[in-house]
Amino acid sequence: MTDPRAFTSFDFDHDETSKTLFVGQAKSDSPTPFTVHDWSSKTALPQAEWERLIKAKMASTNMCIVLVGRFMATATGVVKEIAMAKELEVPVFGVYVDGAGTSSALPAGLQRNRTIGWKWDLVGATVEQMMGEGKNA
């Protein structure tokens, strides 16, 4: 299997620490090694430019991993990233972080049955499943 490339979508205002931990641990703790790209915008961009940039980056990945935190209902950028992934036929799954769980709000477009706890055996198995889906498989 090629090295899976994952775009990580997260609530920049609330879950940046969880994203940093997830990306770092993915390199060493995941049973399925995969490369997580940190393509978050480091500066504020005009909306059209941000959308063009994210869409181009999303197109070069095998999957989109949504880090679902407790304040996900306010993360409008995450909803847009999920929509872009679906438009590009990039498989999407979620991982609960920061105390979120099965009763937490999910962003529009993310299915509850495709959102898992942050356990590396589950993440690894889901990464393998995602590699069999989508146009980048």
Half-sphere exposure of residue 99: CA atoms within 13 angstroms, side-chain side? 3
123 domain residue, yes or no: yes
- pLDDT at res. 86: 96
- pLDDT at res. 2: 65
CATH number, domain of 99, equals 3.40.50.300
- pLDDT at res. 117: 96
137 domain residue, yes or no: no
28 domain residue, yes or no: yes
Cα distances from 74 to residues 12, 15, 25, 70, 137, in angstroms, run 10, 12, 26, 10, 31
pLDDT in tens, 36-54: 766 666 666 788 888 898 8
122 domain residue, yes or no: yes
Token pair listed for 56: 């181009």
Domain hosting 62: range is 5-131
9 domain residue, yes or no: yes
74 domain residue, yes or no: yes
- pLDDT at res. 43: 65
- The domain total for the chain is 1
Token pair listed for 74: 């306010």
82 domain residue, yes or no: yes
- pLDDT at res. 33: 67
Token pair listed for 69: 């935190």
- pLDDT at res. 36: 75
- pLDDT at res. 128: 87
- pLDDT at res. 134: 60
Residues 106 and 115: their CA atoms lie apart, in Å, by 9
136 domain residue, yes or no: no
Residues 64 and 60: their CA atoms lie apart, in Å, by 11
- pLDDT at res. 111: 95
Below-50 pLDDT ranges, the chain: none
> Is the CB of residue 7 less than 8 Å from the CB of residue 61?
yes
